[in-house]
Amino acid sequence: MFNFWQRLEWRLFLPPVVIGILSAATVFSVAPSLFGRQLLYLLLGVVLYWAAAFFNLGFLKKYGWWFYVLTVLSLGAVLLFGTLVRGSRRWFDLFDFRLQPSEIAKLILAFFYACFWSHLSVKWKLPNWAKFFISLLFLIPCLVLVFLEPDLGTSIILIASWLPSFFSSGVSKKFLFLFVTVCLGLSISLYQFLLKDYQRQRLVSFIYQQQDPLGVGYQMRQSIIAVGSGGWLGKGYGFGTQSHLLFLPDHHTDFIFASFAEEWGLLGSFFLLGIFVLLFYSLAGVAARSDDPFSAYLCASVFCLLLLQSIINIGMNLGLVPVVGLPLPLFSYGGSSLISSFIMLGLAQGVALSSKV
């Protein structure tokens, strides 16, 4: 029993719980009718966190391929049978709960790539560059299906689960540089053909932020106003005018950080960001200490997924990146995102518990 407490990584458990409590408090302030649900999601997330922490990682390693197939099928099914919300098919309505398969896809891809590089690819007598492209091929179906929902933000985040493959595939730096250059060239050339009109308009409004402040640029402008009006100490809990008077769209989901910053100010925002930094520092530490390749890859994927999504969401709230419709992990209102984030961190906690260090 003492050995358990000695190996327990508290910095992987307390920070997400504190972030979840702050999230529930913010939802109670800006959208009180949703507080009960958010609290329920938080409690369920904590339960599933510990279930994942004690889950047999060998089972994931053995059946990772089948989880991947089920994920691709679910992403295809939501395009056909999902609930249409504001022009997007991203969710299944299951009784009183709305399930978003793309959030589950983040989790599945994280341990699938851990399985791929630590187990599957080892059996294949292929050069590193061939394994590199094979790993990319597994990403493409998920990427395309999520993009077609359409969900540009989540499709970008799915790439983060593949980033450890990119950096540890063993191919040369020249090869990686050439690959990135070609990808950037293709993305720029296909900009006109792949993105929908409203997505292109968001990119243009980001570059020219004063061009259409009451139209496409409205969300970003109101978010910047909310963050800036918080000052050093904020307007006070429950007194955020941008969110309470509904000037700030999606004030409890994609722009909940702006709602929090308006009420708690710069100091409160630094406190929240400090908790996130502590969480990511702990994740990186567990990944570095892992003596099992599967565990190291898994923690690295979780780290990349949550870090990149946090950076994009907070940058979006501050007007530093284009609006792409992404929740802030553990903080934005919503069950699928909150629960999948807790499960990912629970798996990382399981790695810490099984570590000999």
Query: Where in the chain are the domains?
Result: 14-354
Q: What is the CA radius of gyration of the chain?
A: 20
3-state secondary structure of 6: helix
3-state secondary structure of 89: strand
Query: Which tens digits make up the pLDDT trace of 204-251?
Result: 666 666 666 666 677 888 888 999 888 899 899 989 888 888 888 888
Kindly tell me if the per-residue pLDDT of 276 is higher than 90.
Answer: yes
Query: Which tens digits make up the pLDDT trace of 289-313?
Result: 888 888 888 898 899 899 999 999 9
What share of the chain in percent tops pLDDT 70?
89
Alpha helices in the chain (DSSP H): 2-7, 14-30, 35-53, 57-81, 101-115, 121-123, 128-147, 152-168, 173-189, 191-194, 197-207, 218-229, 241-244, 256-289, 293-317, 335-354
Q: CA-based angle 26:31:37, to the nearest 5?
A: 85
Range from 19-28, 29-38, 69-78, 162-171 carrying the lowest mean pLDDT: 162-171
Query: Which tens digits make up the pLDDT trace of 102-149?
Result: 888 888 888 888 888 877 666 777 787 888 888 889 999 998 898 888
pLDDT classification of 357: cutoffs 50, 70, 90: very low
Tokens 């913010």 -> residue: 26
DSSP 120: I
Q: Do the beta carbons of residue 133 and residue 176 sit within 8 Å? A: no
Average of per-residue pLDDT across 145-154: 84
